[in-house]
Structure formats: C-alpha cells, structure tokens
Structure 1
Amino acid sequence: MTPKITIKSSGSCSSYAKLAAKTQKLEKVHFPAHFGVIQQPDKTLLFDTGYAPRVDEIFQSFPYQLYKLLLPTQIEESGSVKSYLQSQGIGLETVELILISHFHPDHIGGLKDFPCAEFLCAKEAWDFVKNRRGLRALSQGFLPQLIPNDFENRLSFIEDLPAGSPLGPFTHTRQLDWRGTAYTLVPLPGHIPGQYGLFIENAGERPVFFISDSLWDISALVTFDLPNFIGMHVQHNNKDYIATIKRLHTLKQARPEIRFIATHDRTLDHAR
C-alpha cells in the first residue's frame, strides 16, 4: 500500500546563507527544521520530530543557552508535530514508530509527546550521545532533557535490521518492513556519527529520500557547493561529509525522479 507522506516545518534557526553554501551571499536567513509524517490507514511513522516548545525552555538554562546564542531559534507551539497531528485529527496514539536520524534538538524536540511510540535509530548515534551531559552534551548539540525517561525500553537499533538493497552508490543499507511497505534506511556519515536517512520507493508519483542534515542547501546536490569553513568546521568528519554529498550527487544524476528532502531545505516552504 502506498503511504501518505507529509513534510512540515516545526520552526527555524537563523544563520548566514554562506554557512550552508560558500557561494551564497553573506546574509542572514531562516533555515526551517522539517519532519516527515508517513501514514498508513490507521498508523503513523515519523521521520524525526523537529522542534517543540520544550526546546526553548531548555535553552533558558546554562550551558544550553549558549546553543541559542550561537544559533538563534524560532519555535512556536503551532509548528510542532504534536500540534500538526492534532490539527489533522490524527491521534497521537497512532504514532507507532519514530525514526530518529540523529540526536540534535531540531530532530528530537518532540519525542516526549509520544509515550506510546517505539523508537528506531542507529546504535552508533545513541552510543555517541547517551552519556553526555552539560558542556560535553552541548559540544555535540545534544540536549539530554529531550530524551524520554523510558527511552531505552522502547528503542531498537537500525544495525539489527536485515540488510537492504543497494541504493545507487549507497551499498550498506538496512531494510525496515512496516505496515506492508519496505523502507530503506541509508547511512549518511559525516555530519554526526550514526546519521541515517530514509528512502521510500513506493511513495506515489516520485520516490522520496529523507536525507536529514547531509547537506543544508539542496542545490549542493547539483552544484556540489559545500559550506564555508565555519560550516565545515562543525561537521564531525569532513571527509565522510564530502563523500556522502558526492554519493547523493551521483544518485541524483542516476535517478532524477527521486525527491530529496533535506531537513533544512529553504525551498520547502510548505507541505507537499
């Protein structure tokens, strides 16, 4: 069965366009933080949860207030995934599974709003952040207060799933079978350890590939325009980051029909 896919923005952060692509102008812009809602008839899968108002609450305390000082955020209750689902008459209890691409606050802000959901992420991603607190957490953009108390009781790891079919140059994938549809989980290293994307072949008119923070400026898929030196400095591994963008570039050339969804793509100004 073809799932229904909706992409929404949960808020934004303000920074310079050059941070995402060095050929861009030196001007301040708003980078949205998108999440994906994937629906089968009576159950829902989320790709990340975006921001939520509790993120702003955490930003009021030290040392996490330094995060907002460096990367100002704009978060409203009406933009949260919880509010979106309620506005559509979708019960929060229908959210059966949340795929966490990685553990930055603009991807996990809404986890606590879904006490019935199961969680799926890379073991590598969780191991990288789970014991961090204070400045050690902040240094990796992790807010431990966003993690539900029973998180590990509801957690499964991508690495434990069966191997999936190759997706162009991405050869080490995993397959998730959920509600009669096969989903391909794709490792996207470089930005932070354990980052994964989600590829959906059977997504209606065009296949959809959620690529998380593999790149911030979607034009890099074509132009291979990398972030400036500051933007590259905040990546965990520059070599892997560049290699991931090269693979995405190769995939786009080979399969132009794929719709690539980057979390902070400024051209995604409304749900589609």
Structure 2
Amino acid sequence: MRWIKTVPLLTGSCRHPQAMTLIKGTLKPVDFHALAMLLIHPDEGPILFDTGYDPAFLRATKAFPERLYRYATPVDLPEGADAASQCRALGYKPEDVKHVIVSHFHGDHIAGLHAFPKAALHCARAGLTDLRRHGRLAATRRGLLPSLLPSDFDSRARFFEEAKDVALPPDYEPFDTGKDLLGDGSLIAIELPGHCPGHWGLALKDSNYGFHFLVADAAWSLQAIRENRPPPAIATNWLGETLKARNTLTALHRLHTRNRELRLTPCHCPERASESRIFRT
C-alpha cells in the first residue's frame, strides 16, 4: 500500500438523540459532525472520501416530503464549511479533484458531489440501484435524496464491485479482502454491510497514522466500536439490516481489540471531530 496524506474536513453537523445511534444512549439531542476526508495521493493529487453536507442538501430538502429529512436531523452548515470551499482554502481547486469515493448514498455523504465535476465517482452499484428504486417518500425515509446526484453521474461512475480483488494486510484481520480502486494498492474499498445497501469503507496507509480504516457509518462513534455497542434495532432496521450491521460492528470491535494501533475513523464520531480542525467562520 502506498502512503496517503489525510486531511479531515468537518462539513457541518446535525443534531439527533444519541440513543438512536447507541444502545442505552441519552435521549438528549447531540451534535454529530459530518466528516469528509481529503486524501492527497502522490500521483493522483486530491481525492475525496465522501463530501458531507453542502448547500445542495438544504435545497434538496426544502420541499415535502424531503423536508422531513431535515426535520429528523436538523443541520448546521456554516458558510464556507462545504467540502469544495474547504478544498479551495487548502489550495486545491474542486475541478482538480480526480476521484470522489462514495461510502454510501445517504444525503449527508453525497450532497457535495455536484461541486467536483471532473472526478470519477467510485461507488457501489448495489447502493446506486437502491437509491433509484424508491419513490420520493420511501427514499426520504431511508435518508436518500436522488436529486443530489449530478446529471452525468452514470458516465463518471466506477463501481466497487468491478474493481480488482486484493488481499488485505494481516493488520486488518478479521477483514481479509477488498477492492483496489486505483490499481496501485493505495486505496482499498472494503464492504461493510448492514447500515444500508451498498455501504463500504476505505483502507489506506496514512502518512500521519499508518494503517487507517475509514469505516463511514458502520459505527457512529469509536465508543460504539470499543464497546461493541450498536444502535437499537429500530434504528438499524429503519435504514438497513440489523443482523448484518451488528455483525459488521462486531468485526470492527474484534479488529480494534487485536490491533489498537490501526486507526479507525467513523464519519460522525465526536472523538474524531474533536481531534480535527473544526471549521469556524
């Protein structure tokens, strides 16, 4: 695996009762930051893992029934906190981003896709199929906003399922295989079933931390991974499949237990957000 520099981008946040993300959590609403990750590849340049919130999310949830999404998870998005604006502030033009890796198709992960018009869009075919098979109300209930897809999405899509199978280093056990997205071993997509159809994470060799596993929404926090403490079934059944989600979380717990040196990053983890450069106006 080649070395990649990672730069976390905190692209706004939503408020939601912790108990919907963690069994026996508090009913008090808490802030969950939306973490996208800027990846600096030695040859390909800037790459994104997810895009987080974006003003497009607010536009997409202005009318009913999509507005119900915004009611369920009220969003705070400061001006300039979107991924494209933060890339510019870091010296990277959005049009120079060659690849965006989509962990899954929930609106808080794909809202900024429109801002990266030259990027190949790496995603799961299963997730894209699921996104397009629901009516507006059913899609909204599942956290899906099909209007966020760029009009040329299909022509730029590259599917995880079609990438080359590769063996993972022993450091990732019990995860043993993934998909080599760029063909150079630098970015390995790993399926993490359960949260929703077509949900994947990304393994890489981080120049700051060594082996690094971006686990998207397979867990909402490092606490959940450490304690093997999933969301309640009502939450996991709402979006995906409870048994698969809990099996995935158990595998992440086993990974953390046997290899505490490997860095795990859930997209909404408060601990990871507190370590990162939180965007301020």
1 CA distance for matches of 2:22 and 2:229?
A: 6
The residue aligned with 1:28 is 29
1:116 aligns with 2:118: yes
2 CA distance for matches of 1:54 and 1:176?
A: 27
Letter in 2 for 1:46: L
Instruction: Give yes or no for contact 2:5–2:207 (8 Å, CA) kept in 1.
Output: yes
The residue aligned with 1:149 is 151
Q: Summarize deviations over 1:104-138 as a string: whole Å, max 9, x none.
A: 01100100001111101111111111243411321
The residue aligned with 1:256 is 260
The residue aligned with 1:17 is 18
Letter in 1 for 2:103: S
Letter in 2 for 1:19: M
2 CA distance for matches of 1:230 and 1:238?
A: 9
1 CA distance for matches of 2:268 and 2:104?
A: 14
1:43 aligns with 2:45: yes
2 CA distance for matches of 1:58 and 1:177?
A: 31
Tell me the CA shift for residue 164 of structure 1.
1.4
Tell me the CA shift for residue 143 of structure 1.
0.8
Tell me the CA shift for residue 171 of structure 1.
3.2
Q: Summarize deviations over 1:174-218 as a string: whole Å, max 9, x none.
A: 12236x552221100000011000011354432111000001122
Task: Check 1:213–1:243 CA distance in 2 against 1; reply closer, same or farther (3 A cut).
Answer: same
1:247 aligns with 2:272: no
TM-score by length of 2: 0.91
Aligned 1:187-202 pairs, distance under 5 A:
187-202=191-206
2 CA distance for matches of 1:231 and 1:131?
A: 21
The residue aligned with 2:97 is 95
Letter in 1 for 2:19: K
Letter in 2 for 1:99: I
The CA RMSD measured in Å over matched residues stands at 1.7
Q: Which runs of 5+ in 2 are unaligned?
A: none
1 CA distance for matches of 2:177 and 2:142?
A: 25
Instruction: Give yes or no for contact 1:105–1:141 (8 Å, CA) kept in 2.
Output: yes
Letter in 1 for 2:202: L
Tell me the CA shift for residue 254 of structure 1.
1.9
Structure 2 SS opposite 1:248:
helix
Q: Which of 184-193 and 1-10 deviates more? A: 1-10
Structure 2 SS opposite 1:137:
helix
2 CA distance for matches of 1:137 and 1:231?
A: 16
1 CA distance for matches of 2:62 and 2:206?
A: 43
1 CA distance for matches of 2:236 and 2:123?
A: 24
Instruction: Give yes or no for contact 1:2–1:204 (8 Å, CA) kept in 2.
Output: no
Letter in 2 for 1:227: P
Q: % of aligned pairs identical? A: 28
1 CA distance for matches of 2:197 and 2:255?
A: 22
Letter in 2 for 1:214: A
1 CA distance for matches of 2:94 and 2:221?
A: 32
Number of matched pairs: 271
Letter in 1 for 2:13: S
Q: 2:59 aligns with which of 57, 67, 74?
A: 57
TM-score by length of 1: 0.93
The residue aligned with 2:179 is 174
Q: Which runs of 5+ in 1 are unaligned?
A: none
Instruction: Give yes or no for contact 2:32–2:269 (8 Å, CA) kept in 1.
Output: yes
1 CA distance for matches of 2:29 and 2:204?
A: 33
2 CA distance for matches of 1:15 and 1:144?
A: 23
The residue aligned with 2:232 is 228
Tell me the CA shift for residue 229 of structure 1.
4.4
Task: Check 1:87–1:65 CA distance in 2 against 1; reply closer, same or farther (3 A cut).
Answer: same
Q: 1:269 aligns with which of 246, 271, 274?
A: 274
Instruction: Give yes or no for contact 1:15–1:71 (8 Å, CA) kept in 2.
Output: yes
Structure 1 SS opposite 2:187:
strand
Instruction: Give yes or no for contact 1:53–1:76 (8 Å, CA) kept in 2.
Output: no
